[in-house]
Amino acid sequence: MADLCASLSNGHTLHRADVKGVAMTSSKLLQDAIQQPLFRRLLASWPLLLLRGVAATAFGVAAFVWPQATLLTLTFLFAVYAIVDGLIAIAAAFAGIGRDKPTWWLCVLGALSLIGGLLALFWPTVTVIVLAVILALWALISGAVQLAGALQLREEIESEWLLGIGGVILMMFGLAVIAFPGAGAVALSWMIAVYSVAFGVSWIMLSLKLRRLARRT
């Protein structure tokens, strides 16, 4: 009986030691990651990344609850979303940079969104096919840039897959629009709704992950 108690006691002691060792290792990895410029900038910009996800989700929900919107309304909604998204992305790229360089892929994403939004805003009489082309090009190029950012982030944070998923979602949306360029405003609105919500959720999840890590630093 005494041997059994001693064995259990030793087992609990080893378990506590293992847990402590894992916690120390995790803390050490986090401290090492904080030394990386990209990781520091992302931690500083998590509120803006959250806002970017919320904006995308809101745009998708608007397209979902208003599927019968006219082409002019749909173009205006995209223009407003893209401009807001571009400004947020650029602000996030320069957040907390100090003497570091801004996050290049967020700058590119912001510039692409601004170009797409301004193009739609000052060309409100576009046809469905022209709007589809604008959306497809914006989604494909932005998705590729976001995937590149995920690969860069892969060396510094475990949640880079959330950023990668967002890039894949954008590229899938672009391919879907190219596959059905003449689907009509209603079908385009549904596609925008589905992919915008999925894209926005991926950014919200990434920002909340960064928020948790920021609180641990």
Are 30 and 42 members of one domain?
A: no
What is the rounded average pLDDT of the residues 37-55?
80
Q: What pLDDT score was predicted for residue 20?
A: 41
Residue 89 to residues 1, 7, 15, 30, 65: CA-CA distances in angstroms?
65, 57, 45, 25, 26
Integer distance in angstroms from the first to the last C-alpha of the chain?
46
| Cα 57 to chain centroid, rounded | 11
Instruction: Give the span between the Cα atoms of 199 and 3, in whole angstroms.
Output: 58
Are 102 and 163 members of one domain?
A: yes
Copy the structure tokens of residue 102.
């801004």
Are 19 and 103 members of one domain?
A: no
Q: What pLDDT score was predicted for residue 51?
A: 92
Q: What pLDDT score was predicted for residue 54?
A: 93
Q: Residue 8: how many CB atoms within 10 A of its CB?
A: 10
pLDDT at 29 over 70: no
Are 117 and 84 members of one domain?
A: yes
Are 109 and 14 members of one domain?
A: no
- Assign 111 a pLDDT band (cuts: 50, 70, 90): very high
pLDDT at 124 over 50: yes
Q: Locate tokens 């992919």: which residue?
A: 195
For the chain, the helix, strand and coil percentages under 3-state DSSP, each to the nearest 5: 85, 0, 15
